[in-house]
Structure 1
Amino acid sequence: MTRMFSPLIVIPVYEHEHAIGPLLARLRGHGVPCLLVDDGSGPDCAATLRRLAAAEPHWLSLLRLEPNQGKGAAVMAGLRDAGRRGHSHVLQIDADGQHEAADVPAFLAQASSEPDAVINGRPVYDASVPRGRLYGRYATHVWVWINTLSFDIADSMCGFRVYPLAPTLALLDQTRIGRRMDFDTEILVRLHWQGLPVRNRPTRVTYPSDGVSHFDLWRDNLRISAMHTRLFFGMLRRLPRLLARKGSRR
């Protein structure tokens, strides 16, 4: 029996008290329930999130993690909460206001028509993107193409995507995945290894002039480097299966 398509929007939040209200205003009209995962924010942000959730309990709910555990941990907590609620899919969108909330219906429509696929945001940047961030992403792109033996994943670092919940939760139950800025890339590669289709959907990304980034240049780059190393050796173990899959597509 085909499971009913039932999406939930999950937003990991850490100290984004100024950006989260405008983002929610752009999401509200889509009619999709929304879960804020407060990743151990300080008093000001925590109070803002409680106030927002209390004002619209029919649409907006709040899950609090303590202490701060990392973006990946917050998304995983949201995924598990969505599973407990009986949802079929989760749309992840970052709290910093970079992503085009008007694209939510198109992402969900594609997820509904291809319920077994990950609908992955492929950023289309405007002039606001910092050049260092833009060029730095290409190292990860190359490693992802190596570790999947494909170009199926156009951009593994975009925090705007739709997960089919059943296979994603099964993966989380059997594999330890990075809990901080390494999460977005690692989970996508591992879902690809399991045979899930990845559909890359273009979406506009802007960098607000007053935006808040929690990317730590040294620590997060070390985590991402360690993640690429783990994935590379994981790819080598799966090499015969990945090559066989690649050959079957020809």
Structure 2
Amino acid sequence: MRCVIVVPTYNEAASVGALLDRLADARSAASDASIDVLVVDDSSPDGTGDVVRGHAAYGSWVRLLTRSSKDGLGAAYRAGFAAALDAGYEVVLQMDADGSHPATEIPAMIELLRGQDVVVGSRYVAGGVTENWPLARRLLSWGANVYARRVLGLRTRDATSGFRAWRAAALLAAGAVDSAASGYGFQVENTWRAERAGLRVAEHPITFTERTVGDSKMSASVAREAAVLVLRWRIGELAGRGRVQPGAAPAADPDHQRTERLEEAGRA
């Protein structure tokens, strides 16, 4: 299978190089899959893009999509998903750049896709754990998942997980590229979309480790925004007599689109 891992970045110069090294090991372990990596960088001022360009695999199995500005996690993922689908990949994975998601689980998640449409790297199923998280962060994550499951009626226990593997057809069926959320609500929205589309969603236990370098992008305001969106989606769904109505995706900015650059070997 042709697979690509989409990694959004903003000021991750201290962590992205080590992540690419770990992904090199995961590629070797996934003997039945051809895996590329697409880093989607929002013009990080700390030189994240330069670190990616300087990696030994850049131009081989590592690509860089540079966006003109920082306008949210969801927007970065949508750009990466669209590029992956345009390139004809059969499997699209998503993961954070900070090292929290275990690259060693990628081969197992890809293998599970042979019988599933979406595989979620889950902290909240048997065998899933978090390491080095402060109590407040644990409570915030746990509470967000309970809230999302109850309001939206989700089966997935880790609806906020950002570590996932998708069949390309599942991304299209869920309408992930047309989603609306820009922050961490993006993960919940696509869980909801996938379940409502009748996709087969499996959870694979992972060990989630708190980042050791860089700064977390999670905050109380981000959590509040996601909570409001979850309630809005449910109200819209009920008003639409069961139809998923997340709202229109943000309008494309022509100037923004012109400054996005997919860099490959031999061209920029």
Q: TM-score range by the shorter chain?
A: 0.7 to 0.9
Deviation at 1:240? 5.9
Question: Which residue in 2 is equivalent to 1:161?
Answer: 164
Which region of structure 1 is more displaced relative to structure 2, 194-203 or 40-49? 40-49
- For 1:71 and 1:183, the matched residues in 2 are separated by 8
Question: Which residue in 2 is equivalent to 1:16?
Answer: 12
- For 2:47 and 2:109, the matched residues in 1 are separated by 32
Considering only aligned residues, what root-mean-square deviation do their CA atoms show, in Å?
2.3
1:9·1:90 contact (CA, 8 Å) conserved in 2? yes
The code of the aligned residue for 1:37 comes to V
Question: Which residue in 2 is equivalent to 1:248?
Answer: none
Question: Which residue in 1 is equivalent to 2:58?
Answer: 56
Question: Which residue in 1 is equivalent to 2:115?
Answer: 114
**Structure 1's 175 and 13: CA in aligned 2 closer, same or farther, altered over 3 A?**
closer
Instruction: Determine what percentage of the aligned residue pairs are the same residue.
Output: 28
- For 2:86 and 2:101, the matched residues in 1 are separated by 27
2:179·2:190 contact (CA, 8 Å) conserved in 1? no
**Structure 1's 235 and 147: CA in aligned 2 closer, same or farther, altered over 3 A?**
farther
Question: Which residue in 2 is equivalent to 1:195?
Answer: 198
Residues 88-110 of structure 1, C-alpha deviations (whole Å, 9 max, x = no match): 22111100111111111001111
Q: Secondary structure at the match of 1:230?
A: helix
The code of the aligned residue for 2:26 comes to H
Question: Which residue in 1 is equivalent to 2:89?
Answer: 87
**Structure 1's 146 and 237: CA in aligned 2 closer, same or farther, altered over 3 A?**
farther
TM-score normalised over the length of structure 1: 0.84
Question: Which residue in 2 is equivalent to 1:67?
Answer: 69
Aligned counterparts, 1:98-247, within 5 A: 98-111=100-113, 113-115=114-116, 117-123=117-123, 124-150=128-154, 152-172=155-175, 175-218=178-221, 220-237=222-239
Q: Secondary structure at the match of 2:98?
A: coil
Number of aligned pairs? 233
- For 2:198 and 2:88, the matched residues in 1 are separated by 23
Q: Structure 1 stretches of 5 or more lacking a match?
A: 243-250
- For 1:197 and 1:19, the matched residues in 2 are separated by 33
**Structure 1's 118 and 238: CA in aligned 2 closer, same or farther, altered over 3 A?**
farther
- For 1:96 and 1:164, the matched residues in 2 are separated by 24
Deviation at 1:23? 0.9
- For 2:41 and 2:230, the matched residues in 1 are separated by 28
1:8·1:89 contact (CA, 8 Å) conserved in 2? yes
- For 1:20 and 1:48, the matched residues in 2 are separated by 7
Residues 110-153 of structure 1, C-alpha deviations (whole Å, 9 max, x = no match): 11x125x2101112334401211111123322232224434x20
The code of the aligned residue for 1:49 comes to V
The code of the aligned residue for 2:228 comes to A
The code of the aligned residue for 2:141 comes to R
- For 1:171 and 1:72, the matched residues in 2 are separated by 15
- For 1:174 and 1:33, the matched residues in 2 are separated by 20
1:107·1:162 contact (CA, 8 Å) conserved in 2? yes
- For 1:46 and 1:140, the matched residues in 2 are separated by 32
- For 1:182 and 1:39, the matched residues in 2 are separated by 19
